[in-house]
Amino acid sequence: MKLLALELRNVRNLEPLAIEPGPRFNVLSGDNGQGKTNLLEAVYVAGTLRSFRTARLAELIAFDATEARVAARIERGGLERICEVTLRERSRVVRLDGKAVRPISRYFGEFNTVLFAPEDLQIPRSSPRERRRFLDRAVFHRLPGYLDQARAYDKVVKSRNALLRKAEGRLGPSQSALLEVYDQQLARHGSAVVASRRGFLAELLPRFCSAFQAITQASLDGGIRYLSADRLPEDPGAVEEALSAAVAAARRADLARQVTTVGPHRDDLELLLDGRAAASFASQGQLRSLVLAWKTAEMDLLEETHGEPPLLLLDDVSSELDPTRNEYLFEFLRQRRGQCMITTTHPKHVLLTADRVDWSVSDGVITRCN
């Protein structure tokens, strides 16, 4: 899969542009605050209809504009397609090859991207919420239908929480009946979320372990563990029943606290070093090796799944890695087939020479250098 052309209008601080990225490595250089990450964000939105920086897509609209437009011409399986997103303050319009997309799930899977940002390197020691977001982003790229699962679950949790707050500790007959419906939906959608997360991690794990060994060349083993806050069984067929029982057992506590205390919105992801929680004792370098192994494994998995490598968006990560891990990353990129967009404060930080197109980013203007 390749990004053949990109058109942007009224996206953050970026001037209107129409560019044709190179087929392999595209290096975008410029000082901080000039618009490099804004460009990667726009590409990510074209592929996922989500931002990796904000929950509100309207924030991408330039200050003096009422709408923003992102259009990407891509090639996949020898066919060209146009993915287009128009953003307004309270709405978005999504088109594929010039036609409105309904249902929206039909849009996903054509334009696969993987983001690697400096914030990802902090994941082992960040909050459980950030780790869930990190995991869910990866699951979505592997399973586009996961977005519908996650949204259905989030909607149930929000509706249930609103009912608990309104009840103020005491349920009337109609409220009790409604809560029962929410409990059933929470167990059903929650079990689907857990199954997708666990299934993805099972696929990723062998690739992750191999990548970690290649990066570190050490005797220590890397690992991944999914932490179920409700201690749900590993058997997929038993998860919904167990989650339903946990929701029922927590009902009194939920009424008192006016919040849902059971479900995968409380689960966590743990990176391991020799079977132990890496965040508790691993060095900074070891933690970064674990995240680097995750990202390389994720790219390998997506290429094996879709038959084509995803577009990699590498946002100034090289400045956060030491020379050894930096060399591993770029050697990995040299050996794989995919297209890559790399931001950096200086071109020399990117250890690639062949198949490279350089771009200058200054005050929202993007100019090809070679």
What is the overall mean pLDDT for the chain?
93
Residues 201, 207, 213, CA angle at the centre, nearest 5°?
125
One domain for residues 160 and 96: no
Alpha-carbon torsion 213, 119, 318, 45, what sign? positive
Q: Which SS3 state, helix, strand or coil, does residue 259 take? A: coil
Extended strands (E) in 77-210: 79-88, 91-96, 99-100, 113-116
Are residues 331 and 292 part of one domain?
no
pLDDT at residue number 307: 87
pLDDT tens per residue, range 56-92? 999 999 999 999 999 999 998 889 999 999 999 999 9
pLDDT at 31 over 80: yes
> Are both 139 and 268 inside the same structural domain?
yes
Query: What is the predicted pLDDT for the residue at 242?
Result: 97
Q: Which of 258, 284, 307 is the last residue of a domain?
A: 307
CA–CA dist 158, 167 (Å, integer)? 14
- pLDDT at position 45: 95
Q: Quick one: CA torsion of 348, 352, 358, 361, rounded to 10 degrees?
A: -50
Q: Worst-scoring range by mean pLDDT, 27-41, 258-272, 336-350?
A: 336-350
* pLDDT, position 335: 87
273 shares a domain with 181: yes
User: The dihedral of CA 103, 105, 111, 117: what is its sign?
Assistant: positive
pLDDT band at 132 (very low <50, low <70, confident <90, very high): very high
Q: Give the pLDDT mean for 144-150.
A: 90
CA distance 176 to 186: 15
- Among 252, 273, 307, identify where a domain stops: 307
Q: For the domain that residue 336 is a member of, what is the CATH number? A: 3.40.50.300
The reply to whether 317 and 232 lie within a common domain is: no
> Which is nearest to 279 in space by CA: 352, 346, 344, 223?
223
pLDDT band per the 50, 70, 90 thresholds, residue 170? confident
What residues form DSSP beta bridges with 340? 25, 312
- In whole angstroms, what is the distance from residue 60 CA to residue 353 CA? 33
pLDDT of residue 222: 93
Any idea what the Cα angle at residue 287 is, between residues 283 and 288, rounded to 5°?
A: 115
Query: Is there a domain that residue 274 lies in?
Result: yes
CB 359 within 8 A of CB 6: no
Q: Would you state the pLDDT for residue 142?
A: 92
The whole-number average pLDDT for the span 364-368 is 95
Check pLDDT > 90 for residue 218: no
Distance CA 294, CA 223 (A): 10
Reduced to 3 states, what is the DSSP secondary structure of residue 53?
coil
What pLDDT does 136 receive? Answer: 95
Residue type, 89: E
Span 111-129, pLDDT tens digits: 889 999 989 999 999 999 9
Pair (278, 138) in one structural domain: yes
Q: What is the pLDDT of residues 180-216, one digit of tens each?
A: 999 999 999 999 999 999 999 999 999 999 999 998 8
**Do 230 and 330 belong to one domain?**
no
pLDDT-derived band at 268 (thresholds 50, 70, 90) equals: very high
Q: Is the pLDDT of residue 106 over 90?
A: no
Report if residue 79 sits inside a domain: yes
Residues 204 and 219 both lie in one domain: yes
Percentage of residues of the chain with pLDDT beyond 70:
100
Indicate whether 119 belongs to any domain: no
Last residue of a domain, one of 307, 333, 349: 307
User: How far is it, in rounded angstroms, from Cα 15 to Cα 366?
Assistant: 8
pLDDT in the model for residue 274: 92
Q: Is residue 118 part of a domain?
A: no
Please report whether residue 117 resides in a domain.
no
Residues 131 and 254 grouped into a single domain: yes
For residues 258-269, give the mean pLDDT.
Answer: 96
Q: What is the count of structural domains for the chain? A: 2
Domain membership flag for residue 261 = yes
- Quote the pLDDT of residue 255: 94
Flag whether pLDDT at 14 surpasses 90: yes
Q: Mind listing the pLDDT tens digit for each residue in 299-338?
A: 999 999 888 899 999 999 888 888 888 888 898 899 888 8
- Are 313 and 303 found together in one domain? no
Rounded Cα–Cα distance for residues 289 and 149 (Å): 31
**91 is a domain residue:** yes
Q: Report the helix count and the strand count for the chain, using DSSP H and E.
A: 9, 15
Q: Give me the domain span that covers residue 64.
A: 1-112+309-370
Structure tokens at 217: 């060349």
**Does one domain contain both 297 and 321?**
no
The answer to whether residue 172 is domain-embedded is: yes
Q: Are residues 296 and 186 in the same domain?
A: yes
